[in-house]
Amino acid sequence: MSWGGVQKHWLKNWGGSGRKPTPAPADFEVDKDARYTGEVAAYYKHSGYGFIVPDQKGLVPGDKIFVYWKNIQSDDRFPTLSQGMKVEFGLMKKKDEGVMTLCTKYVTLPGGSMVAIQDTEDSKKTFVGGQNLRYTGVLKFYDPERGFGYVILDDGFALDEPVPK
């Protein structure tokens, strides 16, 4: 999904008017040091964003707050959250399309520990050659709008199973 697609999805499902991001109330004061807890309502891993429902009702308008992957504190290759996961976060104001909005900052597990779910997710997969082995190749094609492409695998890899070039 392109960034424009992310915005359209967000506006359709969470953003109110459908034309602009939901503005933060003009009198809303952000406590830059405060930490809050909540539960992940939805997270779109391949788009890199989602929403958290704060445990404290009335904390933010609509009782849902936007979370972007860059604000997730993690050593995982692809920082992500899972629906229903309990998290801790701070709040910040951010200008989006000329509108001052609210979003999360410094998202962690409760107690402040790093979010680490990549190993759990990887344990459900089968990797060619092993989980930590990386291959080289030449990019044949990539479509950024659709988010996929093809790589021609370099020669010289001793693989235990047949893999198309």
Q: pLDDT by residue (tens digit) across 109-126?
A: 999 999 988 777 777 777
User: In this structure, are 68 and 142 located in the same domain?
Assistant: no
User: In this structure, are 41 and 103 located in the same domain?
Assistant: yes
User: In this structure, are 88 and 130 located in the same domain?
Assistant: no
Report the domain count for the chain: 2
User: In this structure, are 97 and 52 located in the same domain?
Assistant: yes
Asked, for residue 25, whether it belongs to a domain, the answer is: no
- State which amino acid sits at residue 159: L
3 exposure class (CB count in 10 Å sphere: 0-12, 13-18, 19+): exposed
Contact (CB, 8 A) for 119 and 108? no
Q: What is the pLDDT of residue 67?
A: 94
pTM metric for this prediction:
0.68
For position 109, which CATH number holds? 2.40.50.140
Q: How confident is the model at residue 162 (pLDDT cuts 50, 70, 90)?
A: confident
User: In this structure, are 113 and 149 located in the same domain?
Assistant: no
Which tops the pLDDT comparison, 163 or 3? Answer: 163
Pair of tokens at residue 25: 């109330």
Q: What is the pLDDT of residue 5?
A: 52
* Site of tokens 């406590």: 31
The count of other CB atoms within 10 Å of the CB of residue 98 is: 8
User: In this structure, are 95 and 155 located in the same domain?
Assistant: no
C-alpha distance across the termini of the chain, in Å: 27
Asked, for residue 2, whether it belongs to a domain, the answer is: no
User: In this structure, are 111 and 54 located in the same domain?
Assistant: yes
User: In this structure, are 102 and 131 located in the same domain?
Assistant: no
Domain range for 145 is 126-164
Question: How are beta strands 49-54 and 65-68 bridged, if at all?
Answer: antiparallel
Contact (CB, 8 A) for 139 and 154? no
Contact (CB, 8 A) for 100 and 23? yes
User: In this structure, are 159 and 93 located in the same domain?
Assistant: no
User: In this structure, are 109 and 130 located in the same domain?
Assistant: no
Residues 56-101 have pLDDT tens digits of 999 998 899 999 999 999 998 889 999 999 999 999 998 888 888 8
User: In this structure, are 70 and 113 located in the same domain?
Assistant: yes
Report, as an integer, the average pLDDT of 3-28.
59
Residues 20-68 have pLDDT tens digits of 577 888 888 899 999 999 999 999 988 899 999 999 999 998 899 999 9
Asked, for residue 39, whether it belongs to a domain, the answer is: yes
Q: What is the pLDDT of residue 70?
A: 93
Cα angle vertex 84, ends 125, 92, to 5°?
110
